[in-house]
């Protein structure tokens, strides 16, 4: 119920509102001006016709006077997804941003924890619009005023893919259907239950939303739930673990909702949607910077890898992602990340109008410059190509040492052009093409594992891998230094000028240098504080043992485990700040610190309390029947890599016929595959630095056992 959709065709009742012919944007501006000029303070109903409670009065004039448009939404999850295409959420935000810009007001998103809280919050005056995939029903129309329909959906009963118990509707007899409280699913289900003996409709516990119910169905923790078709389609985009067993025949409209005493606001919204929705339904389109600014979104084609774009501890990150986000910010745009299936799709998708720029650490080569219809921006980084070998290889000192060796690179990469030229010039080595969807970092891992003999990588990518892979080394450079640039369509002259101006201003300046160091040079540093065991004091590990013990009791973790985790995170240095923004003893991410109420992340007391509170919040999401040790491993994996990657690993474990409730040799094994593109591209949260996460969990657990053994030894003395 929380996904916003604008790409679905209009159907059902939506056809009554003929939106096929949109007004021009100039017409829309005139309509908005006319509506604003005609605003009057109407004396309208002050109570809800359904609840009888007083309704807060705030119409368009109040919004304009306060210069704030407050939009009520629900939190789908405390963690972000990894968008790899234009998502309905991105369209939703762009629409709302454009509306606020046209009204010359600030857009304020007000999040509600539960769907059922949205309408009360609207009537209490905490927001002006509900934009949360809300379904239009006859019951709701008595209480709310709805805009023109945004989309139409059907409601579907789903179960896990392996469930064969329901082949026809009558098989739902004696089944329990669990739904999110406050949704309109109950209306259809109650009517269905009247026809099917003993079928029960149950509300999920507080805090469990439709997204979480779908996850639990996929993990076979519950058997049946209900969701809108658009939500299920999105879920199918990254897993085949659920299936539909029944689809209700009636189409339902999705719309925005306002208070019934806000007629001027409703007029504005309808005029705006009538004009804008046709623009947002286009999947492919081309346009220069002025057209992009009208659209409000900059569509960025890139790759999901450690250099460009990935999710870490629930935060979207990546060198290219941060650079393009800054460029968009300076031009008043929101970015949408699009990740094509293969490297070779990037430029074709740009030319087809599926994106506006390619920002993917792409080297400027003569072959690429010859592609008709594209142009390269001002370069923003200079790199050198290095031959990469195993750590113990002592035979590579110069180009002639490549003779008789085997080099593996992607055929569509700049490395292939470089190595092919060397071979054409008479060098005698074997050149093998890696699959097009394989990333450079994965080929480097293959060299480390002995799967490949040699490869070639840009020095920045190699440096990033060297931070956590001790099985490789860079040797000599091959070819002349290269430059990275973004790729644009040749006709988008104004966009290219804006990009060029941006890079001319920032080239070799602090902004790019800081990001370069963050992703390609920095390592987490900490004071080398060793655990201290003192017989006189009984048993001590850190200077912060008393704080650790206090909050470990509050959140029910063994204090030796927490000490082990803190050593892994910061080596007991309370003042450390890591490359990814992690702060203090437990390396709290800024968003996590804020969410846990930590005002000073470098205070040992506040940091440990917030870290353990967050650990506890992760653990409570996990199923109660998971064994304590496995639950602890899952919690640590989520803390380090992000809860989303754990969800992906548990779903993958089911597909691999492994146990999604066990860590060792099961979820651990599935998680290890999420660093490989053939698996990460199918995962909702994309690429995961799996070796780091797995090592994090296992090292902390091992050290925890060592601390426990020492504690027992001291206690016996």
List, by residue number, the catalytic residues.
569
**Distance from C-alpha of 228 to C-alpha of 585, rounded to nearest angstrom:** 43
Instruction: Count Cβ atoms below 10 Å from residue 283 Cβ, excluding itself.
Output: 10
**Distance from C-alpha of 499 to C-alpha of 363, rounded to nearest angstrom:** 16
Q: Using CA of residue 569, residue 570, residue 572, residue 576, what is the dihedral sign?
A: negative
What residues does 335 pair with on adjacent strands? Answer: 298
Residue 588, both tokens:
């709290």
Which residue matches tokens 């920045």?
460
- Residue 96 three-state SS: helix
CA of 313: how far to CAs of 78, 385, 580, 589, 656, in Å? 11, 31, 9, 8, 25
> Please, are residues 303 and 341 in contact by the beta-carbon 8 Å criterion?
no
**Distance from C-alpha of 233 to C-alpha of 152, rounded to nearest angstrom:** 13
Task: Starting at the earlier edge strand, list the strands of the sheet with 155-160.
Answer: 200-203, 176-179, 225-228, 155-160, 242-247
Buried b (16+ CB within 10 A) or exposed e, 369-404: eeeeebbbbbbbbebbbbbbbeeebeebeeeebbee
> With 0-12 CB in 10 A as exposed, 13-18 as middle and 19+ as buried, what is 556?
exposed
Which residue matches tokens 């963050």?
518
Residue 61, both tokens:
């004039």
Q: CB under 8 Å to 348, separation ≥6 — which residues?
A: none
SS3 string of 629-690?
A: HHHHHHHHHHHHHCHHHHHHHHHHHHHCCCCCCCHHHHHHHHHHHHHCHHHHCCCCCCCCCH
**Distance from C-alpha of 607 to C-alpha of 614, rounded to nearest angstrom:** 11
Q: What angle do CA 664, 667, 673 make, to 5 degrees?
A: 115
Element containing residue 135 per DSSP (H, E): strand 129-135
Residue 440, both tokens:
């450079």
> Please, are residues 342 and 436 in contact by the beta-carbon 8 Å criterion?
yes
> Please, are residues 615 and 639 in contact by the beta-carbon 8 Å criterion?
yes
**Distance from C-alpha of 430 to C-alpha of 420, rounded to nearest angstrom:** 10
- Residue 455 three-state SS: strand
Q: CB under 8 Å to 25, separation ≥6 — which residues?
A: 275, 294
**Distance from C-alpha of 319 to C-alpha of 307, rounded to nearest angstrom:** 6
**Distance from C-alpha of 583 to C-alpha of 602, rounded to nearest angstrom:** 7
DSSP 245: E
Q: Using CA of residue 31, residue 32, residue 36, residue 37, what is the dihedral sign?
A: negative
Residue 343, both tokens:
């490297």
Q: CB under 8 Å to 102, separation ≥6 — which residues?
A: 28, 29, 32, 272
Give the residue from 176, 194, 186, 114 showing the smallest Cα distance to 155: 186
Give the residue from 410, 313, 356, 267 showing the smallest Cα distance to 82: 313
CA of 198: how far to CAs of 159, 166, 171, 172, in Å? 18, 15, 11, 9
């Amino acid at each position: 119920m929380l996904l916003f959709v604008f790409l679905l065709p209009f159907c059902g009742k939506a056809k009554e509102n003929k939106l096929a012919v949109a007004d021009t944007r100039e017409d829309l501006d005139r309509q908005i001006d006319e509506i604003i000029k005609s605003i009057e303070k109407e004396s309208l109903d002050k109570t809800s016709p359904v609840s009888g409670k007083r309704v807060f009065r705030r119409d368009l004039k109040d919004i304009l006077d306060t210069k704030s448009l407050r939009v009520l939404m629900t939190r789908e999850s405390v963690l972000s997804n990894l968008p790899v295409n234009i998502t309905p959420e991105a369209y939703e935000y762009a629409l709302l941003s454009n509306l606020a810009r046209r009204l010359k007001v600030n857009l304020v998103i007000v999040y509600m924890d539960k769907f059922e809280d949205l309408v009360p919050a609207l009537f209490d005056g905490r927001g002006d619009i509900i934009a949360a995939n809300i379904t239009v029903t006859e019951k709701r129309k008595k209480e709310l005023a709805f805009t023109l329909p945004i989309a139409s959906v059907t409601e579907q009963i789903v179960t896990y893919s392996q469930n064969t118990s329901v082949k026809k509707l009558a098989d739902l007899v004696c089944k329990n259907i669990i739904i999110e409280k406050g949704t309109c699913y109950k209306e259809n289900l109650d009517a269905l239950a009247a026809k099917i003996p003993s079928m029960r409709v149950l509300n999920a516990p507080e805090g469990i939303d439709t997204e979480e119910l779908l996850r639990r169905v996929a993990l076979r923790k519950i058997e049946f739930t209900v969701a809108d078709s658009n939500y299920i389609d999105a879920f199918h985009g990254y897993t085949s673990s659920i299936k539909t067993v029944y689809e209700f025949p009636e189409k339902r409209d999705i719309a925005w909702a306002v208070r019934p005493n806000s007629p001027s606001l409703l007029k504005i919204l309808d005029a705006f949607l009538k004009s804008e929705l046709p623009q947002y339904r286009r999947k492919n389109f081309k346009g220069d910077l002025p057209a992009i600014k009208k659209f409000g979104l900059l569509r960025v084609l890139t790759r999901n890898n450690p250099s460009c774009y990935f999710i870490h501890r629930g935060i979207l990150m990546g060198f290219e992602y941060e650079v393009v986000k800054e460029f968009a910010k300076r031009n008043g745009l929101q970015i949408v990340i699009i990740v094509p299936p293969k490297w070779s799709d990037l430029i074709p998708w740009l030319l087809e109008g599926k994106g506006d720029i390619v920002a993917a650490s792409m080297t400027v080569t003569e072959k690429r410059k010859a592609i008709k219809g594209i142009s390269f921006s001002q370069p923003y980084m200079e790199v050198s190509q290095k031959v990469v070998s195993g750590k113990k290889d002592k035979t590579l000192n110069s180009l002639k040492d490549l003779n008789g060796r085997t080099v593996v690179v992607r055929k569509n990469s700049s490395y292939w052009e470089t190595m092919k030229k060397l071979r054409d010039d008479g060098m005698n080595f074997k050149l093998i093409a890696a699959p097009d969807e394989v990333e450079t970092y994965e080929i480097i891992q293959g060299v480390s594992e002995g799967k490949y003999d040699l490869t070639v990588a840009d020095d920045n990518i190699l440096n990033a891998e060297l931070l956590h892979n001790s099985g490789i080394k860079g040797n000599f450079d091959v070819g002349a230094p290269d430059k990275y640039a973004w790729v644009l369509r040749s006709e988008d002259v104004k966009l290219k000028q804006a990009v060029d101006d941006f890079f001319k201003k920032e080239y070799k300046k602090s902004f790019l240098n800081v990001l370069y160091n963050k992703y390609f040079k920095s390592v987490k540093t900490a004071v080398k504080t060793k655990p201290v065991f003192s017989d006189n004091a009984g048993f001590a590990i850190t200077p912060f043992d008393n704080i650790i013990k206090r909050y470990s009791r509050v959140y029910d973790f063994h204090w030796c485990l927490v000490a082990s985790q803190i050593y892994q995170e910061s080596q007991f240095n309370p003042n450390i700040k890591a490359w990814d923004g992690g702060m203090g003893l437990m390396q709290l991410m800024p968003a996590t610190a804020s969410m846990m109420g930590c005002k000073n992340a470098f205070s040992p007391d506040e940091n440990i309390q917030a870290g353990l509170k967050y650990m506890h919040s992760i653990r409570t999401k996990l199923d109660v029947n998971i064994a304590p040790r496995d639950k602890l491993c899952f919690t640590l994996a989520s803390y380090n890599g992000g809860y989303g990657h754990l969800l992906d690993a548990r779903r993958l474990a089911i597909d691999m016929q492994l146990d999604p409730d066990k860590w060792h040799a099961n979820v651990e094994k599935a998680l290890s595959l999420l660093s490989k593109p053939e698996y990460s591209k199918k995962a909702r949260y994309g690429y995961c630095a799996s070796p780091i996460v797995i090592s994090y969990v296992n090292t902390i657990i091992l050290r925890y056992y060592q601390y426990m053994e020492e504690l027992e030894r001291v206690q016996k003395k």
